[in-house]
């Protein structure tokens, strides 16, 4: 077992057989989804310029305090367990189990706030770079020039990623139920499916088809 603020990793023993399910006592931070509360937990996360959450339910917190609190809230709702087989840098495959309750919530919420504040093509570019960035970090190239250059692009992409995301946590699930931002690119007047725009849209469609 190896633990830090972000996650716990488990390897060896029964996990060396990829067909065997680990026993529930192995997990230290998360309850099983079956044992999670029958009532959903709602939380609101606030973002300023990117991936860093600055407040939970309106309470300003340091990055460390944010992760500690999310670990507790998400873990109590059965969120954050992962069982994966990794491709090691040396060429072997290795099975590991992980608990990342807070990190699981953070990833889902960050994607949600990006969805209304980030330009489509910039989002696609960032997504293209993320596997390469992850590989650099995983393989120990944190101080490499390519990691730093990629980081500069990612940081630039987060300039307008500000706002709030509301989540429902329920029995292992992280469900986005709302997102809002003063920098939102979502225009309800354009995106609406309501009847008031139908008279305008239909002539436009006829004109385009001619």
Q: In sequence order, what E strands does the chain have?
A: 2-3, 8-10, 41-47, 53-56, 59-60, 81-87, 93-99, 163-170, 173-180
Q: Per the domain annotation, does 194 fall within a domain? A: no
**Intra-chain end-to-end CA distance of the chain, in Å:** 67
Q: Are residues 47 and 81 in the same domain?
A: yes
3-state DSSP call for residue 79? coil
Q: Per the domain annotation, does 209 fall within a domain? A: no
Q: Are residues 63 and 112 in the same domain?
A: yes
Task: Check: CB of residue 169 under 8 Å from CB of residue 105.
Answer: yes
For residue 205, is pLDDT > 70? no
Percent with pLDDT over 90 in the chain: 79
Q: Are residues 150 and 123 in the same domain?
A: yes
What pTM did the predictor assign? 0.86
Q: Are residues 133 and 148 in the same domain?
A: yes
The residue segments making up the domain with residue 139 are 119-159
Q: Are residues 113 and 132 in the same domain?
A: no
The mean pLDDT of the chain is 91
Question: CA-to-CA distance for 78 and 59, rounded, in angstroms?
Answer: 24
Question: CA-to-CA distance for 41 and 166, rounded, in angstroms?
Answer: 11
Give the pLDDT score at 67.
96
Give the pLDDT score at 145.
97
pLDDT tens, residue by residue, 84-113: 998 888 889 999 999 999 999 999 999 999
CATH number at residue 18: 3.90.1260.10
Q: Position of tokens 């509360």?
A: 37
pLDDT tens, residue by residue, 139-150: 999 999 999 999
Average pLDDT over every residue of 11-28: 92
Give 155's contacts (C-beta < 8 A, 6+ positions apart): 50
Tell me how many domains the chain contains. Answer: 2
Give the pLDDT score at 202.
46
Q: Are residues 49 and 83 in the same domain?
A: yes
């Amino acid at each position: 077992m190896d633990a830090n603020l972000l996650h716990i990793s488990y390897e060896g023993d029964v996990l060396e057989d990829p067909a065997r399910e680990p026993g529930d006592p192995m997990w230290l931070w998360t309850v099983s989804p079956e044992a999670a509360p029958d009532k959903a937990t709602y939380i609101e996360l606030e973002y300023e310029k990117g991936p860093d959450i600055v407040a939970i339910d309106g309470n300003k917190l340091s990055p460390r305090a944010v992760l500690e609190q999310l670990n507790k809230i998400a873990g109590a709702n059965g969120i954050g367990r992962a069982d994966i087989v990794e491709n090691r840098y040396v060429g072997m495959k290795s099975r590991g189990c992980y608990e990342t309750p807070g990190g699981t919530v953070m990833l889902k919420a960050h994607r949600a706030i990006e969805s209304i504040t980030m330009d489509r093509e910039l989002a696609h570019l960032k997504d293209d770079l993320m596997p390469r960035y992850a590989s650099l970090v995983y393989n120990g190239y944190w101080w490499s020039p390519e990691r730093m250059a990629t980081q500069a692009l990612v940081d630039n992409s987060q300039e307008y990623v500000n706002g709030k995301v509301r989540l429902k946590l329920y029995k292992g699930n992280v469900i986005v139920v709302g997102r809002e931002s003063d920098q939102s690119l979502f225009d309800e007047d354009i995106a609406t499916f309501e009847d008031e725009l139908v008279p305008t849209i239909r002539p436009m469609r006829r004109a385009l088809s001619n």
